[in-house]
């Protein structure tokens, strides 16, 4: 029976509360046996962990909580900024907890969960992301969740968030950003009062952003467009667009993330020169159509 229990803990993500294990049909004797055999470790009176349990989940179990926010987002394969410490949710009433090396969250998310549940609901993950991160970072994580279909946009729109920041992000989050970088750029333009359309097809390819009729913004992500082949492809596309009368501004990851004022200034200067304006073409619209 202890073999089945060890496998059960492993399949539960490596950490389980004794109350949950009892509800699943495992007896206290089985749990004690697994611990005495060294196959399961008791790191808190009521929390048991598998040897393969990840550091964040072990840290959460040691504090009677569960991984959330950026840590849970990364576990789900979502785009998320790097974090030095595990983000852990603990009950609001929990006291005398060691916060060394972790980021504790005490807010209560919209989805009610038992304190013994080691897995955070995706809606709660997004709730904590919204209340923990700067707005641009949070928007990038939310849009990553939407693109990966980790959550339905119609569901998010009906959630009672109880957080002004989460409600705001739920209102503006979309599914057109191909990367977290594009989400940052979209948020940056929104804050600057500049209207930008994403993933508009021009010359047979989708551009990252189109401002007005003729100003194109292309974004080079941190992990992409790094090979000579990719670079030549980008330069060729820029040249084709220029020959069609478009102005192309290309920014990389570092510029958007760490020099946003410069990015905004370059775009505003281009708009001041009228580079976003173009001749009116009756009956034609750029709205996600292929532009000849």
The CB density around residue 216, as the number of other CB atoms within 10 Å, is: 23
The CB density around residue 276, as the number of other CB atoms within 10 Å, is: 20
Q: pLDDT of 6-39, one tens digit each?
A: 999 999 999 999 999 999 999 999 999 999 999 9
Q: So what's the pLDDT on residue 174?
A: 74
Which of 68-72, 138-142, 152-156 has the highest mean predicted lDDT (pLDDT)? Answer: 68-72
Q: So what's the pLDDT on residue 178?
A: 65
pLDDT band at 255 (very low <50, low <70, confident <90, very high): confident
pLDDT band at 268 (very low <50, low <70, confident <90, very high): very high
Q: So what's the pLDDT on residue 1?
A: 72
Window from 42-46, 105-109, 129-133, 262-266 with minimum mean pLDDT: 42-46
Mean pLDDT across 242-253 = 93
C-alpha span between 10 and 51 (Å, rounded): 9
Q: So what's the pLDDT on residue 278?
A: 80
Question: Phi/psi of residue 243, each to 5°?
Answer: -65, -20
pLDDT at position 262 over 60? yes
C-alpha span between 99 and 139 (Å, rounded): 27
**In percent, how much of the chain has pLDDT > 90?**
69
**pLDDT, mean over the chain:** 89
| Residue environment code for 176-198, b if the CB has 16+ CB neighbours within 10 A, otherwise e | bbbbbbbbbbbbbbeeeebebeb
pLDDT at position 224 over 60? no
Q: So what's the pLDDT on residue 283?
A: 45
C-alpha span between 141 and 177 (Å, rounded): 11
pLDDT band at 109 (very low <50, low <70, confident <90, very high): very high
Q: pLDDT of 206-221, one tens digit each?
A: 999 999 999 999 998 7
7 closest CA partner among 68, 43, 52: 52
Model pTM above 0.95: no
Edge-to-edge strand ranges of the sheet holding 66-67: 66-67, 87-89, 103-105
Q: So what's the pLDDT on residue 226?
A: 54
C-alpha span between 6 and 179 (Å, rounded): 39
Mean pLDDT across 60-88 = 95
Q: pLDDT of 149-192, one tens digit each?
A: 999 988 998 999 999 999 988 887 877 776 788 888 999 999 99
pLDDT at position 282 over 70? no
Q: So what's the pLDDT on residue 244?
A: 94
Q: So what's the pLDDT on residue 253?
A: 81
**In percent, how much of the chain has pLDDT > 70?**
92
Which of 101-105, 137-141, 163-167 has the highest mean predicted lDDT (pLDDT)? Answer: 101-105
* Three-class DSSP category at 218: strand
Q: Note the helical H segments in the chain.
A: 2-11, 18-23, 28-36, 55-62, 69-75, 122-132, 135-147, 153-158, 164-172, 180-192, 228-243, 253-258, 260-272
């Amino acid at each position: 029976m202890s073999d089945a229990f060890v496998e059960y803990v492993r399949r539960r993500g490596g950490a389980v509360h004794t109350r949950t294990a009892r509800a699943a049909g495992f007896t206290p004797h089985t749990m004690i046996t697994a611990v005495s055999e060294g196959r399961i470790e008791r790191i808190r009176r009521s929390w048991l962990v598998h040897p393969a349990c990840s550091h964040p989940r072990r840290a959460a179990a040691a504090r009677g909580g569960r991984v959330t926010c950026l840590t849970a987002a990364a576990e789900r394969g979502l785009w998320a900024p790097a974090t030095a410490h595990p983000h852990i949710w603990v009950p609001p009433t929990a006291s005398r907890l060691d916060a060394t090396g972790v980021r504790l969250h005490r807010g209560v998310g919209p989805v009610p969960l038992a304190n013994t549940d080691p897995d955070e609901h995706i809606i709660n993950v997004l709730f904590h992301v919204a209340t923990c991160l700067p707005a641009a970072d949070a928007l990038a994580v939310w849009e990553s969740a939407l693109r990966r279909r980790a959550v339905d946009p119609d569901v998010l729109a009906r959630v009672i968030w109880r957080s002004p920041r989460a409600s705001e992000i739920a209102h503006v989050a979309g599914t057109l950003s191909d990367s977290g970088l594009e989400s940052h750029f979209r948020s940056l333009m929104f804050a600057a009062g500049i209207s930008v359309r994403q993933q508009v097809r021009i010359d047979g390819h989708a551009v990252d952003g189109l401002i007005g009729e003729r100003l194109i913004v292309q974004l080079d992500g941190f992990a992409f467009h790094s090979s000579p082949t990719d670079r030549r492809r980008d330069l060729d596309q820029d040249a084709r667009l220029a020959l069609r009368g478009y102005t192309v501004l290309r920014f990389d990851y570092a510029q958007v993330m760490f020099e946003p004022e410069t990015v905004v200034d370059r775009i505003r200067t281009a708009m001041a020169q009228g580079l976003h304006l173009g001749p009116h073409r009756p009956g034609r619209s750029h709205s996600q159509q292929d532009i000849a």
